[in-house]
Amino acid sequence: MPRFALLIEYDGAQFQGWQRQAEGQPSVQATVEQALAALEPGPHSIAGAGRTDTGVHATGQVAHCDLTRDWDPFRLMQALNWHMAPHPVAVLQAERVDDTFHARFSATERRYLFRLIARRAPVTHDLGLVWRVLQPLDLSAMQQGAAHLIGNHDFTTFRSGQCQAKSPVKTLDAITITQHAIAGGQEYRFHLRARSFLHNQVRSIVGSLERVGSGSWEPGRIAAALAARDRAACGPVCPPQGLYLTGVGYADNPFPSVNPAN
């Protein structure tokens, strides 16, 4: 059966996450599978690179599917988008891949972005797409705190109590924080890169770094929280609407026209 890789973006606000849910609960996976069933009647099961939570967005999710017909990739993309309308899900690119390709298990890295806006005025155009706080944050302090998290660590403090990963040990390859002037305030963008992440790891890290940026925590408290290996030492978990899965890396990139750094 021909296998295709799909590059997908979505607004997660109206979905109960990526993963297929119980009957009646909308998910991104089910939306794509329903579109596939419209093209080739019968059950379909796709695999995604990341199981994003309720309300989390994606600009670079990757999934794969097996089909009976050897579709032209461009026509497959067009047909899926037609059948998924008006849901806020779009296939950006479809490519034929080898049968050994697996969207999840072949991935060598995942990249996330978290957007945080600090301003007094309410959010209008980015409503549901960012986390808003009222006061500006100390960028340098957050960068100092984030530096403690780079490398291979036991991230028990920064994972959900419902996390199903066998081990809390992960390697965080990079975390960068940038500040951008916007009308009425500042936007802070947190970019994180790792082979894989624990459940709620990114939101737990950003929530703790916001405490540093606000002055409630000293940067060194991030190191102490990490060393504690205790969920109680974590700062507040930030809301999901500012989080985006922006890209998935592979040894053999199925989308050569897409910049893997995005």
The residues carrying an active-site annotation are: 53
Rounded CA-CA distance 149/173 in Å is 9
Which stretch of DSSP H or E encloses residue 58? Answer: strand 57-66
What are the distances in angstroms from CA 92 to CA 43, 152, 208, 209, 237? 23, 33, 34, 33, 31
Rounded CA-CA distance 121/133 in Å is 10
Rounded CA-CA distance 181/204 in Å is 25
Pairing of the two strands 47-48 and 57-66: antiparallel
Instruction: Provide CB contacts within 8 A for 70, sequence distance 6+.
Output: 2, 96
7 bridge partner residues: 62, 93
